[in-house]
Amino acid sequence: MIDAIDASEARHILESPDLIAIGVRADDVRRQMHGGRTTFVRVFQIHVDAAPASLPMRLSAGEFRIVGSPSSLDLAVSAVRAAAALAGGVPVTGFTLADLQSLAGASFAAACTTLQAAGLAGIAEIQVDRLDSGSSNAIGQARDCGLVLNRLTVAAADLDRIAVAVRARELHDAVGGFRAFAPLPRTMSISTPSTGYDDVKGVAIARLLVTGIESIQVDWSLYGPKLAQVALTVGADDVDGVAAADPGTLGTRRSPIEEIKGNIRSAGLEPVERDARFEVRG
């Protein structure tokens, strides 16, 4: 296992303006762990309140993901059943750990059993900035019920990037089993938006700090193809949120699958498509 840097060294690196040196160091760790292998997943999103009656044409997904916060456990279960009926065996994920804990309370284990029976393969996000004293126990309960919990994310902007990465590392050390950490926040700050420079350094710092988790992930749809591609050269090795449906308006060479593969190859890396369980597709 590759040794991680400590928080003090990470702080020194983060304050350095030398982005190239930081990126080279993080890329070296990434290549020691993965070589040029770069995974990606095509995700079809279904809102918890509005499952479609049918699927779009030219759809190929490795994950059906329920998005949005359910107002009740019954609504969550109904959404899972509807998504599973559409998915045709493709893994269905959904919700955040914190949202499910809030809905289920002391009945969390029973709720996980019900959701798993309805067709849920895994909880989509464990947001490290929304963990509480019961989160580690809840993760164990969910896994005991057969749910996959692969992905650590960050919900809010304006957080200390190093503190968040350290928390991700500590959680993995405590309970294990995570496959990816997505260090860039899911929401953007209106008052103090981050720059591409900040985001790239955040990815690199995450790779250097969190070596116990296999993959550092960047979101293709949330942060855009260009930043995602650069992130792959400074520590990231997994791309989330690639579009699963091809509208067919730009031709085969401009389809989502060809675009992601082309971006990965042009960075000198090898694209490998996976599903929600991190199993290789095709």
- pLDDT means over runs of 10, the chain (282 residues): 86 86 94 97 96 90 97 97 96 98 94 98 97 95 97 91 94 96 87 82 95 96 91 97 81 79 95 97 86
Pairwise CA distance, residues 175 & 18, whole Å: 35
pLDDT of 186: 87
Pairwise CA distance, residues 201 & 234, whole Å: 8
CATH class label, 7-273:
alpha beta
Place of tokens 């995450």: 206
Cα separation values, 59 from 54, 186, 247, Å: 11, 25, 9
Place of tokens 């996976």: 274
Q: How distant is the alpha carbon of residue 106 from its chain centre?
A: 27
Q: How distant is the alpha carbon of residue 217 from its chain centre?
A: 6
Report pTM.
0.94
Pairwise CA distance, residues 207 & 180, whole Å: 11
A 10 A CB-CB count for 110 gives: 13
Domain ranges in the chain are: 7-273
Pairwise CA distance, residues 119 & 113, whole Å: 10
